[in-house]
A and B are shown apart, each in its own frame.
Chain A
Amino acid sequence: MISDAARRRYQAIVPPYVDDAYALARWLSGNPADAEDIVQEAALRAVNALETANVERPRAWFLRIVRNAALTWMAKNRSKSLAFAGGVDDLAAIESVDFADDEQSPETLLIAAEDGERVRRAIAALAPPLREALVLREINGLAYREIAEATETPIGTVMSRLARARATLAKILEDKP
């Protein structure tokens, strides 16, 4: 059973970040109903973990649990292709930064960026590791080292994923719709 002490710690740590958790779960899972299930599961994991866990950065700590709950959830409920494709191996390809085609003028990009639906589709089309770095940075507003903690990834990798995510988004938005 969960002790009242753990519940008290939970009360101080988790509820303030429910919006952040929901936003992350939505972008990882791609739909609102799944996001609710994921956040509930994460909250349950959090209160259990707080029997023993020592938390320094509550938001990064809880978002890591949300992220892991999302991965479990998707592995269980989705076809492989929609889940985080493979694992660390596939990421190597993504890490190799390729920033070609940086010559274009920003005009087409600026026009495309006005189209909210297009921007959201482009985010959804990003490879999951890139999308999660982008969402944690731009939507949740996490600092690099918080993103590193939430995704259990070295800071260098966080940086290259973020750079890669933005470069890819720019390219998608610059292409004809």
Chain B
Amino acid sequence: MSDSDPRADKLLRLNAALDDELDAAHRLELERELARDPQLRASLRRLSAVSEAVRRHAPREAAPAALRDAVAALGHPREARRRAVLPIAAALAAGVAIGAAAQALLAPSRAADPVAAALTADFARAELSDRPYDVASSDRHVVKPWLATRAPLGVEAVDLADKGYPLAGGRVAVVGATPLPTLVYQRREHWIAVTELPLSLADGATDAREGALSGFRVIRWADRERGYVAVSDIDADELWAFVAAFRTAEGVNRGEAR
């Protein structure tokens, strides 16, 4: 094509120059040619005018929101692709106080929450490594002492198997320099990690609050003695139901222990 036609060849190089695809040597050569060839300069002006007109009048339009959502949804794990029920409906069903749920809905997502961010990152890492726990056991009498020797808090490894959340194991999450006991429960093929925090790391609010970080669902709450953060990739309504079950069972356990 262009081998036999120096004029066409020059135009190819003009286009390449316009697209910043010429190496330095060829660019220099072309600049010299442009300096002595007015017709070539006119060609370059025409090409730039066309290029400029296309960019100005045919800008890249954003995809419609529905398409964007549909495309993103394909990347979600199977269970999470179910349309999420409003958290408030789930909270009602799970018996969580409406005040707390309403507050969770209204609370802005707290981007500057280093504890939640660290635990979400921990969850993502554990999930990707296919090793979501350091000690694998469905027996709370195994998990609890394992954690007790590695993290300072006295975690209550509550049994939620009859509620549909068998205990899968435990691991130690680290926030800053503090090792934190973390229980890992299973929900079908998903994991739910519950990390216990000293009050110094908890944010002081006893109402449960929901947020989303990096595609994971986070709910945090506290009682008088400690704080908790639950992280999972299951739907918001399911995680609320889990938190309700956990809080109930945990309260019963601590009551017995006293």
Which one, A53-61, A76-84, A131-139, is touching chain B?
Answer: A131-139
Report whether B54 and A4 are in contact in the complex, using a CB–CB cutoff of 8 Å.
no
Report whether B61 and A163 are in contact in the complex, using a CB–CB cutoff of 8 Å.
no
Report whether B77 and A159 are in contact in the complex, using a CB–CB cutoff of 8 Å.
no
Q: Does A68 contact B (CB under 8 A)?
A: no
Report whether A21 and B46 are in contact in the complex, using a CB–CB cutoff of 8 Å.
no
Chain B positions within 8 Å of A75 at CB level: none
Query: Whole-angstrom distance from the CB of B131 to the nearest CB of chain A?
Result: 15
Looking at chain A's contact residues, the main secondary structure is helix
Q: Does A96 contact B (CB under 8 A)?
A: yes
Which one, B14-22, B88-96, B143-151, B205-213, is touching chain A?
Answer: B14-22
Q: Does B176 contact A (CB under 8 A)?
A: no
Contact of B57 among A40, A103, A120, A166 (CB under 8 A): A120
Q: Does B68 contact A (CB under 8 A)?
A: yes
Report whether B43 and A102 are in contact in the complex, using a CB–CB cutoff of 8 Å.
yes
Interface string of B1-19 (1 = CB under 8 A from A): 1100101100110111001
Report whether A160 and B2 are in contact in the complex, using a CB–CB cutoff of 8 Å.
yes
Report whether A163 and B12 are in contact in the complex, using a CB–CB cutoff of 8 Å.
yes
Tell me the bound Cα distance from A137 to B60 in angstroms: 11
Interface string of A9-28 (1 = CB under 8 A from B): 01100110011111100110
Report whether A162 and B59 are in contact in the complex, using a CB–CB cutoff of 8 Å.
no
With contacts A23-B60, A97-B1 known, is A102 near B46, CB below 8 A?
Answer: yes
Tell me the bound Cα distance from A14 to B128 in angstroms: 19
Report whether A40 and B53 are in contact in the complex, using a CB–CB cutoff of 8 Å.
no
Tell me the bound Cα distance from A135 to B55 in angstroms: 9
Report whether B63 and A18 are in contact in the complex, using a CB–CB cutoff of 8 Å.
yes
Report whether A170 and B47 are in contact in the complex, using a CB–CB cutoff of 8 Å.
yes
**Residues of A within 8 A of B (CB-CB), count:** 57
Within 8 A of B (CB), among A32-89: 32, 36, 39-40, 43-44, 47
Interface string of A87-114 (1 = CB under 8 A from B): 0000000011101001111100110010
Tell me the bound Cα distance from A160 to B15 in angstroms: 9
Interface centre among B8, B16, B67, B71 (most CB of A within 10 A): B71
Q: Does B74 contact A (CB under 8 A)?
A: yes
Report whether B77 and A7 are in contact in the complex, using a CB–CB cutoff of 8 Å.
yes
Which chain B residue shows the least CB distance to A112?
Answer: B53
Q: Does B141 contact A (CB under 8 A)?
A: no
Q: Does A173 contact B (CB under 8 A)?
A: yes
Chain A positions within 8 Å of B68 at CB level: 15, 18
Query: Whole-angstrom distance from the CB of A76 to the nearest CB of chain B?
Result: 20
Within 8 A of A (CB), among B29-64: 39, 42-43, 45-47, 49-64
Chain B positions within 8 Å of A103 at CB level: 39, 42
Chosen A-B contacts, 11 in total, with CB atoms closer than 8 Å, are: A4-B77, A14-B71, A15-B71, A21-B63, A102-B43, A109-B46, A109-B50, A119-B53, A139-B60, A162-B15, A163-B15
Beyond the given A22-B63, A97-B8, please list 14 additional residue pairs across the A-B interface where CB-CB is below 8 A: A1-B78, A4-B77, A7-B75, A21-B71, A43-B74, A119-B58, A120-B57, A120-B58, A137-B19, A139-B54, A163-B12, A166-B50, A170-B47, A173-B53
List residues of chain A with CB under 8 Å of any chain B CB: 1, 4, 7-8, 10-11, 14-15, 18-23, 26-27, 32, 36, 39-40, 43-44, 47, 95-97, 99, 102-106, 109-110, 113, 116, 119-120, 123, 134-135, 137-140, 143-144, 156, 159-160, 162-163, 166-167, 169-170, 173
